[in-house]
Chains A and B, each alone.
Chain A
Amino acid sequence: MKLKNILLTTGAALIAAPMAFAQDMADSMTLVSWGGAYQKSQIDAYSDPYKAMHEGLEVVWDESSNEAVAKLRAMNEAGNITWDLVDVVASDAIRLCDEGLAMEYDPDELLAPAPDGTPASEDFGDLIVSDCFIPQIVYSTTFGYRTDLVGDTPPSTVCDVFDLEKYPGKRSLEKRPINNMEWALYCDGVAKDEIYDVLETEEGQARAFAKLDTIKDDVIWWSAGADTPQLLADGEVVMGSTYNGRLFSLIEEQKQPVAMLWDMQVFDLDGWIIPTGLSDERLARVKDFVYYATDTQRLADQAKYISYGPARASSAPLVGKHAELGIEMGPHMPTDPANAKNTLLYNYEWWADYRDDLDAKFQSWLAQ
């Protein structure tokens, strides 16, 4: 009798334990990111250590961040959200928040404080650009140039991109108005803090297009982040814009004769959003993961694998050496003081308004 009782209770406990676990937190989650080296850095820095702490947890990665906004909207319409956490750029996070597709959160409740006790909302500071956006990294769109094709005086300012006499040859620019319009106006003599005011006017837009017209015939337009590194490696272009992490791997990992031109790099943010409409268990799991994956040490860890700056102020001093190359990562961060002498912060609010309009103009300008 006694033995039977014991057996019964242990059995019940054994069955009950995983069930209780399942009720609190889901035992699988689907994370969405950009693929490539960036996603690998997230797996190494966040999800693998987290999985090691939670046995039996299944983590599925999806490489759909590129079309996350459209897919989330479609999922929402179908009433079946299959993603738990999505990595998006800040402008997409704002749009998802606007559409009610991303969940609003309270930074001090969801995110860990810094080791010295600074609350998360202060540690991340202004980088929380939307009520739904959980910042992760600061990256920049900047130029790289072929050191062997630019002669004895390498380019030193972004305006050298527009100087065909000094630096003949093709350049690659992204096939969208964002960043290009700003650089064009800046090099046409507009002061940095007036760029968006000028760009708001018809004349300002015409001015930016006129400046871009001067190099239009020598531009190869890219739409994937990997294009410029490839074009630089092939010698198809003399200089080109892309994300700083891509240039880092081209220069340091693939040892190509390419150097960075940090002048007027455009800072942008990338981070997580939690889709709306998750069940309680899934939400509990995701919150637990986000708390872990965005703490000070984890964000600093990610910089071991890729040269993007951690979004927390408290992570910056902890950035160490590259995991495989063993070089100091600090000087390769876009936020490093030596690199960030002259920078521009992407104006999310402004582009949310003008994106459709300017994109139509830009495409029409390109097609002519």
Chain B
Amino acid sequence: MSDATDTGPVLAADGRPLKRSLQRALRAEKLRALALIAPLLIFILVTFIAPIADMLFRSVENEIVSDTLPRTTLALDGWDHKSGQIPSEDVFAAFTYDLVAAAERKQHTRLGTRLNYEMTGISSLFRKTGRRVDDFGELYMDQFVDLDPAWVEPATWVTLFADPAWISSFEDWQAGDRKDATRPQPLFVASDTLGTILPETTDSYTEFARVAQTVNADSPLEETPWAPVYEALYRDLSRADSAAIAALEGPARTLLAPAQAAVAGFRTETLSDLYIDVDKDWGDPEVWATIQAFTPKYTAGYFLNAVDLQQTADGIAVQPEDQRIYFLLFKRTMFMSMMIMGSCVLLGYPIAYLLSNLSLRASNLLLILVLLPFWASLLVRTSAWKVLLQQQGVINDVLVWLGLVDDGHRLVMINNQFGTIVAMTHILLPFMILPLYSVMKTIPHTYVRAAKSLGATNWTAFWRVYFPQSVPGIGAGCILVFILSIGYYITPELVGGTTGTFISNRIAYHISSSLNWGLAAALGAILLAVVLILYWAYDRLVGIDNVSLG
């Protein structure tokens, strides 16, 4: 013992401390192991985890409103939807600047579609208004131009509002090769001088110039601004401090001072009237309340919709009774998946038992029969059930021929829950039989014989000795069948009619037909959560260690 304290740590053959050298060897081994599974890990991350995470993220993402209507989002902050009044002119002005740019970028209809999920009619409201909004402010445009024709000249606007440094860099860019990707087009920058005196005009002209550059590939130096910019100029000038304008120098003063003196005498119009003239719905505070309720970047709205609630300006409310459907569908999906799982156990257990007790030759032959349905397409198998079960189908024909059923009262066996359960039990049965079979194969016959020799009846020997040993197979089969069945949608769609459809049919509808991906993602997230909860419950009740897939 004293040796060790004298010589310090134990050394490896190469003279290094043994502990460190061992650690290094282990680390190298771990890294090698990680490198070996890295392709699979990356593959799963990229093709499985990432898309699911991305899809689920859509269920709360709602940036479209604040991205498309940034000014309106800010302006609506001070508006109280409970007042019963439509928002002030300031909000309408902010909305006009947002909408005209959005219409030019073709984003307004997309936003309209988004908001239409929350309030019927907004889609066409946005489409209709987007066509007209670039005329809003024309009254002021005409009066400014009448006052001084310079107001129609693009050069006037550029001299007043553009940063001189931007003008020179933009002219440089224009002179060179425009297709050269290494020389990006310099985006319009406003000068600081008028920013404080005419804030709305500076802001809306900047928006105009950038849209002209990026969307239409035009030069702001050659384009007259759209009418809403004149609206902004009118609004700014009627509020601006005349001393500040008098203090300006050069063309800014010579243009703006007389304009400011003249605006008091301008013919005026209110923006809200223009909007209501396009569509009376703009006079409905409810529309504005909907926009306001969905301005945050993240929303619980989709999740609320997915459980038959809705987000309104006043908070969370229950959907009208005639639109509640998702809770019912979730319930039905769970119930029917349980039914399918149960019938798979009932049908699969005896077959698996038979398979495991036959001679290898016979059981292999039967196993092929179990696997045979996998060789036919899912659609073919489902359609075959249609032919069998429909009212003019094979089974009904046979029953009528046998005289068991009256021709006028043929059984309804398809386009309802029964049809779905039958067809899906058939399709999912192999997933129950295979794990059961592989577990039953490993149960020694001697146990049952021993039980019998000790005096157990057939039933007791089966129930007390054989069955408990086959439970892991039942567990595995049940989990497989249940999870597969709650995600099914083709079979329920084809044979489910109206009462036999699943929640997955609605998810598919929202993904491919209504394009409400947010709601589809929320429904999918809930479904995933339900599966995880059931899995957890199963683990607590039965224990996941007791599951054997063979």
A interface residues, Cβ below 8 angstroms from B: 66-67, 69-70, 73, 95, 97-100, 170, 175, 220-221, 223, 234-236, 349-350, 352-357, 359-361, 363-367
* In the bound complex, CA of A349 to CA of B110 (Å): 15
B415 contacts the other chain (CB 8 A):
yes
B515 contacts the other chain (CB 8 A):
yes
Mark B382-418 against chain A: 1 for CB-CB distance below 8 A, else 0: 0000000011110000000000000000000001000
B123 touches A363 (CB 8 A): no
A-B contact pairs, 20 of them (CB 8 A): A69-B513, A69-B515, A98-B109, A98-B112, A99-B109, A170-B391, A221-B497, A235-B392, A236-B392, A353-B123, A354-B121, A356-B120, A357-B323, A361-B322, A361-B323, A364-B322, A364-B324, A364-B325, A364-B328, A367-B329
* In the bound complex, CA of A359 to CA of B509 (Å): 10
* In the bound complex, CA of A235 to CA of B407 (Å): 14
Number of residues in B with C-beta < 8 Å to the partner? 38
B535 contacts the other chain (CB 8 A):
no
Evaluate whether A100 and B107 lie within 8 angstroms (CB atoms) in the complex, with A70-B515, A353-B121, A354-B120 already known: yes
A100 touches B514 (CB 8 A): no
* In the bound complex, CA of A363 to CA of B498 (Å): 8
* In the bound complex, CA of A197 to CA of B391 (Å): 39
B116 touches A70 (CB 8 A): no
- Of chain A, the residue at the smallest CB distance from B308 is A364
- Pick the most buried of A69, A175, A360: most chain B CB atoms within 10 A of its CB: A360
Residues of B within 8 A of A355 (CB): 514
B516 contacts the other chain (CB 8 A):
yes
B124 contacts the other chain (CB 8 A):
yes
Distance in angstroms from B508 CB to nearest chain A CB is 9
* In the bound complex, CA of A221 to CA of B415 (Å): 8
* In the bound complex, CA of A361 to CA of B123 (Å): 18
Distance in angstroms from A133 CB to nearest chain B CB is 14
Q: Which of B390, B415, B499 is the one whose CB lies under 8 Å from A367?
A: B499
Distance in angstroms from B522 CB to nearest chain A CB is 14
Residues of B within 8 A of A361 (CB): 322-323
Residues of B within 8 A of A236 (CB): 390-392
A359 touches B124 (CB 8 A): no
Q: Which of A98, A234, A353, A357 is the one whose CB lies under 8 Å from B110?
A: A98
Residues of A within 8 A of B498 (CB): 175, 221, 366-367
Residues of A within 8 A of B512 (CB): 66-67, 69-70
- Of chain B, the residue at the smallest CB distance from A220 is B415
* In the bound complex, CA of A66 to CA of B513 (Å): 9
Distance in angstroms from B523 CB to nearest chain A CB is 13
* In the bound complex, CA of A72 to CA of B186 (Å): 32
B506 contacts the other chain (CB 8 A):
yes
Q: Which of B505-533 contact A (CB under 8 A)?
A: 506, 511-516
Residues of B within 8 A of A360 (CB): 323, 325
Residues of B within 8 A of A221 (CB): 415, 497-498
Q: Which of B106, B120, B501 is the one whose CB lies under 8 Å from A357?
A: B120
B516 touches A356 (CB 8 A): yes
Residues of A within 8 A of B295 (CB): none
* In the bound complex, CA of A361 to CA of B308 (Å): 12
B323 touches A364 (CB 8 A): yes
B462 contacts the other chain (CB 8 A):
no
* In the bound complex, CA of A357 to CA of B512 (Å): 17
Residues of B within 8 A of A220 (CB): 415, 497
Extra pairs beyond A97-B109, A98-B127, A100-B109 (17, CB < 8 Å): A69-B512, A95-B515, A98-B123, A170-B391, A220-B415, A223-B493, A234-B390, A352-B127, A353-B124, A354-B121, A361-B322, A361-B323, A363-B325, A364-B324, A364-B325, A366-B498, A367-B329
